[in-house]
Amino acid sequence: MALRIGIAGIAGRMGQLLAAEVAKVGATLSGGTLRDGGKAAPHGTPVFPDIAALFAASDVVIDFTFAETVPAHAAAAAAAGKPFILGTTGLSAAQEAAVAEAARAAPIVYAANFSPGVNLVFAIAEKMAAALPGEQYDAEIVEMHHRQKVDAPSGTAVAIGRAVARGRGTTLEEAGIESGRDGHTGPRGTGTIGFAALRGGQVVGEHTLLFAAGTEHIALTHRSFDRAAYAVGAVRAAHWAVSQPPGLYDMKHVLGMG
């Protein structure tokens, strides 16, 4: 039997790409939910009144909606005991805690970015950081996205920063963040991780990790040209998650790197 995949926010830009990918791989689109006051669902698509009803009709649900909806959606996954693929970014610490709590009862794949290429960048960034100590190499992350993006720095940029921190045996919070420099800021802190966020036009996503020393600079760059890459990864994660026990996973597990 084909996997039944539900999509939260099915009328949105990512929702439509996800629906197309579900059809492409031969899975069954069980339906979706809509945002209050938002666009209508594509013709013929089953629409459910709430997330609980969508979980009841699906084997797995994919969510690329809004941070404020995440706790309720994660709780619905836990109540149903069904896999939840979460690509929403900009979550607060409390919202992430709600996801972790729900993962005690359901398999949840939560990733800052579902692109296979970006997840390879995370792995490379960690290895580079381990080889390039913060006392000698300043780490800076520059990202650019479309003008409609509401959170900054991007979830992917933060994930790269966390990968750098892991490679150096610390956390992003302990290393210290340098962001939004303006005016007389003083010298750069040794070992800190810097972020710069650019917004404009319709850039899908560009991220560059720069290690800068007195003698050399090394840059690692990823550019997304089509959001379909995120849909490909998310649907791949949906197929993987249905055979997993409850727990909190990310794309490195899906790709066999965890």
At residue 94, φ and ψ (nearest 5 deg) are -65, -40
Residue 180 is predicted with a pLDDT of 85
Distance CA 91, CA 99 (A): 10
Alpha-carbon gap, residue 168 to 159, rounded angstroms: 14
pLDDT in tens, 2-12: 999 999 999 99
- Which residues of the chain fall short of a pLDDT of 70? 37-38, 258
Burial class (CB within 10 angstroms; exposed 0-12, middle 13-18, buried 19+) of 47: middle
In sequence order, the β-bridge partners of residue 198 are 144
Alpha helical stretches, state H, 132-227: 155-167, 172-175
Instruction: Determine the Cα angle at 9 with ends 257 and 66, to 5°.
Output: 70
- Whether residue 96 contacts residue 122, with contact meaning beta carbons closer than 8 Å, is answered with no
The span from the CA of 91 to the CA of 159, in Å, is 12
pLDDT at 230: 93
Which of 67, 116, 109 minimizes the C-alpha distance to 88?
A: 67
- pLDDT score recorded for residue 121: 96
Domains located in the chain, CATH noted: 4-114+227-254 (3.40.50.720), 116-224 (3.30.360.10)
Helix axes 116-131, 155-167, angle to 10 degrees: 30
At residue 67, φ and ψ (nearest 5 deg) are -55, -35
pTM: 0.82
The residues carrying an active-site annotation are 145, 149
The pLDDT tens digits of the residues spanning 96-123 come to 999 999 999 999 999 989 999 999 999 9
C-beta of residue 210 within 8 angstroms of C-beta of residue 140: yes
As a whole number of angstroms, the distance between CA 161 and CA 194 comes to: 8
